Amino acid sequence: MEKRTIQKEDGRYLIFYAFERPIPEVWEEKGARDDEEPNAPPSAASPEGGED
Amino acid sequence: MSEMRWHPLLRQWVVTATHRQERTYKPPKEYCPFCPTQPGAFPTEVPASQYEIVVFENRFPSFRREPPGPDVEGSELYPVRPAQGVCEVVLYSQDHDASLREMPVQHIDRLVQVWTDRYIELGSRPEIEYVFIFENKGDAVGVTLHHPHGQIYAFPYIPPIPQAELDAGREHREKTGRCLMCDIVAEERRGPRVIWESEHFSAYVPFFARYPFEVHIAAKVHLPSLAEMSREQQTGLAQAIKAVGTAYDYLFGFPLPYMMVMHQKPTDGRAHPDAHFHVEFYPLNRTADKLKYLAGCESGAGTFITDMAPEIQAQRLREALARSGLS
């Protein structure tokens, strides 16, 4: 099991757990490395995020 | 407003978290905040185009790592505390339509490893006394987002129900010298209410079932928490969870709404020799189209009235499991 913690813009943490695939790239990093704007907005903060 | 207010009559905390009124309510599937963020699509909670399992802090938490001070002043009669703790969301899969029952045992096994990691990490925080892992599933239980997920509340105190179980366990040990849950598991395994069993775990409708088709999964040996499980036992737990989920979905022929909760050793630094890991499932359907409500007697008197003998419930769940071909 691999894990990686990232910080969201609003200060909350998010942890990716990976078992059979590599830890996924997040959109901000992918956009920076490709030297182009990511297709999706870089912010992870969803206007509709949350849960029950 | 987010604070803990003391209920002096019941001697328990009530969490007032008014910001939760604003939380997302049943968005359409294409605006699910728990799916991966796709190119050109709106940003979800997960800023990646795929994932296996993800954990993140709840956007609308009941407890916060750094809570604001209470909005009201407490008193000797009415103590008030900041609601300090952690609330996490666990995304079981990137597949919006997946369910625990339909996932391969291997994936549920990975989820068990993630739960274990969270139990250890959150429990190591000095302010956290209890790590409570749970899942609410289905509209009947009040779920507002259908993407497969569970939650973890890291409490700054031991909540009343786990505390009551620990108190009962301590009294039982003082009287008999044995673990209460070990005795319950042994008793259930001798009786007619077992619905599924493996080398490591037993799943049964308890003698004292309160909810319709309530099932408990308990380790056959004394295991205080997820942290003490071997890899083999973790896999055994995954198999048991899949079996119970399968029995539920075949019971009435549709995905059965339920609450799933885990009770285990508190993380307050004390020994707790009576803590014995177990999972409890509380469905609400007493028939395919009738729900059990926690009405006056249950809510006001604290006494559950059940409509079907637990022995019959267990028989129907065994039959459902047989129909699935899993048993």
Q: What pLDDT score was predicted for residue B137?
A: 94
pLDDT at residue B200 greater than cutoff 90: yes
Q: What pLDDT score was predicted for residue B39?
A: 85
Could you tell me which of B20, B219, B55 has the C-alpha nearest to residue B152? B55
Where do we find the tokens 């009947």? B140
The pLDDT of B306-323, averaged and rounded, is 97
The pLDDT of B191-208, averaged and rounded, is 97
How far is residue B128's CA from residue B17's CA, in Å, rounded to a whole number? Answer: 19
| A17 interfaces chain B, CB cutoff of 8 Å | yes
How far is residue B84's CA from residue B3's CA, in Å, rounded to a whole number? Answer: 8
Edge-to-edge, what's the strand order for the sheet holding B149-155?
A2-7, A13-18, B53-57, B86-91, B149-155, B130-137, B258-263, B278-283, B215-219, B201-204, B194-197
Within 13 A of A31's CA, how many CA atoms are on the CB side? 15
Contact indicator for B243, B326 with CB cutoff of 8 Å: yes
pLDDT at residue B325 greater than cutoff 60: yes
| Residue B9 or residue A37, greater confidence | B9
Q: What pLDDT score was predicted for residue B202?
A: 98
Exposed, middle or buried, B313 (CB in 10 Å: 0-12/13-18/19+)? buried
How far is residue B3's CA from residue B13's CA, in Å, rounded to a whole number? Answer: 10
- Is-above-0.90 flag for pTM? yes
The pLDDT of B169-198, averaged and rounded, is 97
Q: What pLDDT score was predicted for residue A29?
A: 64
Three-point CA angle B226, B227, B228, nearest 5°: 95
pLDDT digits (tens, 9 = 90+) for B62-111: 999 999 899 999 999 999 999 999 999 999 999 999 988 899 999 999 99
Mean pLDDT of all residues in chain B? 94
Q: What pLDDT score was predicted for residue B95?
A: 96
Task: Give the pLDDT band (50/70/90) at residue B12.
Answer: very high
Exposed, middle or buried, B23 (CB in 10 Å: 0-12/13-18/19+)? middle
Contact indicator for B279, B216 with CB cutoff of 8 Å: yes
C-alpha distance across the termini of chain B, in Å:
49
Within chain B, strands assigned E span 2-7, 12-17, 53-57, 80-82, 86-91, 130-137, 149-155, 194-197, 201-204, 215-219, 258-263, 278-283
Could you tell me which of B246, B235, B240 has the C-alpha nearest to residue B218? B240
Sequence length of chain B is: 327
Q: Name residues of chain A where pLDDT drops below 50.
A: 35-50
The 3-state DSSP class for residue B125 equals coil
Give the best residue of B21, B53, B152 to mutate against chain A (max A CB count within 10 A). B53
The pLDDT of B253-275, averaged and rounded, is 97
The 3-state DSSP class for residue A6 equals strand
Is B146 known to be catalytic?
Answer: no
Contact indicator for B223, B294 with CB cutoff of 8 Å: no
The 8-class DSSP code of residue B255 comes to -
How far is residue A42's CA from residue A31's CA, in Å, rounded to a whole number? Answer: 8
The 3-state DSSP class for residue B301 equals helix
Q: What pLDDT score was predicted for residue B27?
A: 72
Task: Give the pLDDT band (50/70/90) at residue B23.
Answer: low
Q: What pLDDT score was predicted for residue A49?
A: 42
C-alpha distance across the termini of chain A, in Å:
28
Among A24-38, B103-117, B216-230, B262-276, name the one with the lowest average pLDDT. A24-38
The 3-state DSSP class for residue B3 equals strand
Q: What percent of chain B has pLDDT over 70?
A: 97
CB–CB contact A26 B48 (8 Å)? yes
What is the token pair recorded at B193? 């209410």
| A48 interfaces chain B, CB cutoff of 8 Å | yes
CB–CB contact A50 B47 (8 Å)? no
CB–CB contact B144 A51 (8 Å)? yes
Q: Which of B147, B149, B172, B276 is catalytic?
A: B149
pLDDT at residue B53 greater than cutoff 50: yes
Q: To 10 degrees, what angle do helices B105-123 and B231-251 make?
A: 120
Please tell me which of the candidates A18, A25, A51 has its beta carbon nearest to residue B58: A51
